[in-house]
Structure 1
Amino acid sequence: MHKQIGTCIFWFRRDLRLRDNHALYEALRSGHHVQPVFIFDRTILSKLEDKDDARVSFIHQELSSIHLRLGQQQAAIAFYHDEPLKAWKEIVKTFNPIAVYFNHDYEPYARKRDKEIRDFLKQGQVAVYSFKDQVIFEKEDILKNNDEAYTVFTPYKNCWLAQLASSVLKNYPSEDHLQSLSTCQQTMPSLQDLGFTATKQPFPSKRYKKVIADYHDTRDNPSDEQGTSRLSVHLRFGTVSIRTLVQEARKAKEKTWLNELIWREFYMMILWHFPQTVGKAFKPAYDRIQWQNKETEFDAWCQGKTGYPLVDAGMRQLNETGFMHNRVRMVAASFLCKHLLIDWRWGEAYFARKLQDYEQSSNIGNWQWAAGSGNDAAPYFRIFNPELQLKKFDPKLVYARRWIPELDDPFKYPSPIVEHKKARERALEVYKNALRD
């Protein structure tokens, strides 16, 4: 008796690629026809302030490319624009699936959503299979000897590298099994259908081999546009495979770049184990800090008009391109928290709105680092001098002049919003008062 072939669903989420996609690979090899779906989540989209949000354009662009590729197989993605549970009720009604496949997500909202969808599917006797795909190690893969999560980066990194050395890093060649896709025709909604317009911001390419090889020499130079991989947006939405990137880093013997990938996983697992850090300091005492939170100063920071060129160039680069060099992110974040005494959550929310590569775990982790309240945080008394940082990392003002055309005109470019020495002394006093027992 022949096994009856049914339909299973593969749910695209943060894995917008056909190549080396773990859950897609498992679905395609399940022996059933596979129908891919994507949900434009109204819950998320309704909260976006900018109708030309670059991330929506990026997702739409990548899905369009996949949709065209699937058309060559007489297949298509089924699109939904709704709250996830409502969309899934429609998916089940339309396709009557016997199983659903998707890759893990680690953010608090995603975990809550996935539990709701799992519960709904299981009530209808639909099997649910989920897989690790966007990280090398997840959840409880890396723990201390007492089975607690690591909260300091260096021992986590050492354990991560030891596990990698003893693991076989397996790829999942999903691209070789596309013949198992269901035959169907589906129309993709336009950006306008979703209530958005196309961004004017360019997106970085996925070329990275030369950058990886030179990364340790070029990564701290903000004026070198080719000095960093710019792969963060591709990692964020899964248009490249993390397994491929780690394999390339090992091949190139590029430890500095691999280190950045480990930081990404460290912050993801911190958010997994400590979801409260979305809105609260990892070190609770830091929630006692008396922030000044002056809106005029916050606006000046957002617009890149603080009078400190490295901070201002970074903020203007962010506003125009959706990207900011990592070294400059550190200086701009430290300046907001310590020079202006503005709550790190304000800065985190602004980056969340503007960054193409916004990754909740890394963004929160790095902002808490800058504020002194997080893991491996810069101690509160370490306060970047933005003028010295400018001399060190942009000595010829190439980066600063590129983003601040009026830099050399004292009538157009503002004087410093605060004086460094006084701001530093004030920050030390405010932090000391908050952290007294």
Structure 2
Amino acid sequence: MAVTLVWFRDDLRISDNPALAAAADSGDDVVACYVLDEETEGIRPRGGASRWWLHHSLAALTATLEDLGIPLVLRRGAAAEVLPRLVDECSAHAVVWNRRYGLAERTADAAVKTAFSENGISATSYQANLLYEPWEVTSGTKEPYKVFTPFWRACLTFRTPRRPLPAPDTLHGPRLDSEGLDDWALPPTEPEWIRGLQETWTPGEAGAQERLDDFLDSGAEGYNENRERPGMQSTSMLSPHLRFGEISPFEVWHAAQDHKDTSTAHDIRAFGSELGWREFSWQLLYFNPDLATVNHRSEFDAFAWEDPTTADLSAWQHGTTGYPLIDAGMRQLHGIGWMHNRVRMATASFLIKNLMIDWRVGEKWFWERLVDADPASNAFNWQWVAGSGADASPYFRIFNPVLQSRKFDPEGRYLLRFVPELTEADNLHEPWKGSAPGYPEPIVDLKESRERALSAYKALPKS
């Protein structure tokens, strides 16, 4: 029987997987593979948290595919070398995959597609992980959007996202030799970190669906008002599942829309706009592939960043700055590989503006530590806070961590969860104004550091 090879990447699911659906619908035997490609030039190596997630997500996908009747074949190496060998082993006449949007990934995929086509092998890619292709929605001048609001408005006008595709009921195909997942040694070995990840997350398609159901059942109503409060369970926490493609944005979008009623319409609209920001980030990366290393606004190339002291950077990384909101956020990141979005903005602002450390230093740390770090959103969000990105927060908007915690965590639920030594503090939000046994003094003065940052910004050439 004819064989179609399905190449899994950032789409580790069977539901609403267009490439897998096409293979199943063809009636062919199906061979499913995942290639751990750490050799292709330009593809950024995964951080430790992502490697932990990938290990468990691949284990979950392996079990799901086995239930359908086929294994997941694991191979390590450059995809351009591994895939032709797999095609020869199973005598595949077709290869299918879902698209990626980083420049290095697109270049690699195009080379693979060309090589197969020249050798008479059908190679087809599908849209699976974005509601809108980055090139589809452009401004009136046919340029990519630089501001989110008109971009998202144009998306919603352009086309209603398609309905999700069903998962195949059964699959059949030959069994090829596979490398062992444990032999890849993907997860980091730091015991405390691993324990926190294991206690918080369930990687895989089932875990993604459970997160979505829980959010719609208990968190959607009031989302627009409560999403800024880190001490409440008010966000979906779907971001790592979307990052690894364990659930598609089409599934999330339509599940939310189907859940909408008169009491939740405003909340569902706000939730949908968060998917919109994800789309906007990927469009920006598509047209600006060096987003993680180059200022989108070139005037920031002249910014006078300070050389980070080992002590200050370490205090920020490990949550010992003396500012409760910053420390709680960084400890949450260290503990579970994730951080509430409001706190992400505050911790990034503190590093960039109060410590005057280049945003790229923070972007690299988050890349290593976040389970949801992807090439688009991570870089986009750091540039947004720095003021150097598209539709960015102005540089002179400096998050005051005291005002932020008083406003969004007034009772200190979030602070006390991650900084338990504050239990005995006289002043929860400003512990240096009283007794706070065991808690460090602030490493920098907020007023003085703000003035220093604004002075450096004023010295920039105007765009």
Is TM > 0.5 for Structure 1 vs Structure 2?
Answer: yes
Cα distance, 1:128 vs. partner?
Answer: 1.0
CA distance in 2, matches of 1:377, 1:193: 39
Change (3 A) 1:40 1:218: same
Match of residue 338, structure 1, among 336, 345, 353: 353
Whether 2:168 is the aligned partner of 1:175: answer: yes
Deviations 1:306-336 (A, max 9, x none): 1111011100110111010110000000111
Deviations 1:247-295 (A, max 9, x none): 1222223111001000000010110012132311111101110100323
Instruction: Map 1:287-302; keep pairs closer than 5 Å.
Output: 287-296=301-310, 297-302=312-317
In structure 2, the residue matched to 1:255 is 269
In structure 2, the residue matched to 1:241 is 248
CA contact (8 A) 2:55 2:187 kept: no
Cα distance, 1:436 vs. partner?
Answer: 4.4
1:268 corresponds to which letter in structure 2? W
Change (3 A) 1:212 1:110: farther
Cα distance, 1:418 vs. partner?
Answer: 1.2
Cα distance, 1:188 vs. partner?
Answer: 5.7
CA contact (8 A) 1:22 1:174 kept: no
Cα distance, 1:359 vs. partner?
Answer: 1.5
1:121 corresponds to which letter in structure 2? F
Change (3 A) 1:283 1:30: same
CA contact (8 A) 1:215 1:227 kept: yes
Deviations 1:26-46 (A, max 9, x none): 1222242221111122338x9
In structure 1, the residue matched to 2:333 is 318
1:410 corresponds to which letter in structure 2? A
Deviations 1:16-57 (A, max 9, x none): 11111111111222242221111122338x98697xx33223
Cα distance, 1:304 vs. partner?
Answer: 0.8
CA RMSD of aligned residues (A): 2.2
Instruction: Map 1:280-291; keep pairs closer than 5 Å.
Output: 280-291=294-305
Change (3 A) 1:117 1:301: same
Match of residue 212, structure 1, among 199, 220, 227: 220
Equivalenced residue count is 426
CA distance in 1, matches of 2:309, 2:102: 29
In structure 2, the residue matched to 1:266 is 280
CA distance in 2, matches of 1:140, 1:101: 21
In structure 1, the residue matched to 2:39 is 43
Cα distance, 1:195 vs. partner?
Answer: 5.6
In structure 2, the residue matched to 1:139 is 134
CA distance in 1, matches of 2:161, 2:447: 52
Deviations 1:106-140 (A, max 9, x none): 12331232123223323322121001100110122
Whether 2:437 is the aligned partner of 1:432: answer: no
Greater Cα shift, 63-72 or 187-196 = 187-196
Match of residue 70, structure 2, among 72, 75, 85: 75
Match of residue 15, structure 2, among 7, 15, 19: 19
CA distance in 2, matches of 1:394, 1:229: 18
* Identical pairs, percent: 34
Cα distance, 1:186 vs. partner?
Answer: 5.0
Whether 2:118 is the aligned partner of 1:104: answer: no
1:173 corresponds to which letter in structure 2? P
Cα distance, 1:393 vs. partner?
Answer: 1.0
Match of residue 175, structure 2, among 184, 189, 192: 184
Cα distance, 1:376 vs. partner?
Answer: 1.3
Match of residue 319, structure 2, among 301, 304, 313: 304
Change (3 A) 1:195 1:277: closer
Greater Cα shift, 188-197 or 143-152 = 188-197
CA distance in 2, matches of 1:237, 1:260: 17
CA distance in 2, matches of 1:323, 1:412: 25
Instruction: Map 1:276-425; keep pairs closer than 5 Å.
Output: 276-296=290-310, 297-407=312-422, 408=425, 410-425=436-451
CA contact (8 A) 1:20 1:175 kept: no
CA contact (8 A) 2:345 2:385 kept: yes
Change (3 A) 1:197 1:270: closer
CA distance in 2, matches of 1:189, 1:174: 26
CA distance in 2, matches of 1:115, 1:194: 29
CA distance in 2, matches of 1:406, 1:378: 33
CA distance in 2, matches of 1:189, 1:68: 14
Cα distance, 1:73 vs. partner?
Answer: 4.0
In structure 1, the residue matched to 2:146 is 151
State the SS of the aligned residue for 1:319: helix
Cα distance, 1:70 vs. partner?
Answer: 2.5
Unmatched tracts of structure 1, length 5 or more = none
Unmatched tracts of structure 2, length 5 or more = 426-434
CA contact (8 A) 2:30 2:70 kept: no
Deviations 1:228-252 (A, max 9, x none): 1110010000111211111122222
CA contact (8 A) 2:338 2:372 kept: yes
State the SS of the aligned residue for 2:19: helix
CA contact (8 A) 1:77 1:186 kept: no
2:12 corresponds to which letter in structure 1? L
Cα distance, 1:341 vs. partner?
Answer: 0.6
Change (3 A) 1:334 1:113: same
In structure 2, the residue matched to 1:89 is 84
Change (3 A) 1:298 1:249: same
List structure 1 segments (4+ residues) > 4 angstroms apart after TM superposition: 46-50, 185-188, 195-198
